[in-house]
Amino acid sequence: MSSPVTIRAAEPEDVAAIQRVARASYEAAYLEIIGQEELEAAMDAWYNREKVRDAIVNPETIYVVAEADEVVGYASGGDASEVATGELYSIYVHPDWWGKGVGTQLLSTIEAALRERGLSKLRLEVFAENDVGRAFYEARGFERVGEQETDLFTGQVVGIVVYAMALD
């Protein structure tokens, strides 16, 4: 893990690596919040091979990976429904790489790509109980702009915190 991390556009060949990082980071970050059944449902719905591949090849989606000797993180984003606003769809780093600046590099890459599209604001949603994720966003200048609840795949209801920041 001593090699430098580079950020590059995701390719269809990265699907398995993205699935591996997703599973490891979801287990580390969310297992205690949502439980195993919900975690498996999320993996099946959001990280099946076709869904990840389609997101990577969609020209409207910005999808990048962080790579050392292998893919160690990924992020995706694009236009939100609000005018001049981008949305961070996902950002995950393998737990072995937490605290090494990989998430910050991924986030900066998404921010720059959204700025290039002429967007002036970035929003995201995070589980209210995800203290690590919330601290990450708050440390990078995101402000809490709302709260909501959502039903997950198995009918479990969780709190969501909405964050936003200016892209200037």
- For the domain that residue 33 is a member of, what is the CATH number? 3.40.630.30
Amino acid identity for residue 1 in this structure: M
Residue 119's pLDDT is: 95
Say which residues have a Cβ less than 8 Å from residue 10's Cβ, sequence separation at least 6. 18, 56, 63, 64, 65, 74, 76
User: Domain tally for the chain?
Assistant: 1
Spatial contact of 90 and 126, defined as CB atoms under 8 Å apart: no
Instruction: Tell me if 101 is assigned to some domain.
Output: yes
3, pLDDT greater than 60: no
Torsion of CA 25, 28, 30, 34, to 10 degrees: 120
Domain encompassing residue 64:
6-122
Instruction: Tell me if 45 is assigned to some domain.
Output: yes
- Report pTM: 0.93
Instruction: Tell me if 87 is assigned to some domain.
Output: yes
Diameter of the chain by CA atoms?
42
- Residues 75-131 pLDDT 10s: 999 998 888 999 999 999 999 999 999 999 999 999 999 999 999 999 999 999 999
Residue 25's pLDDT is: 96
Instruction: Tell me if 107 is assigned to some domain.
Output: yes
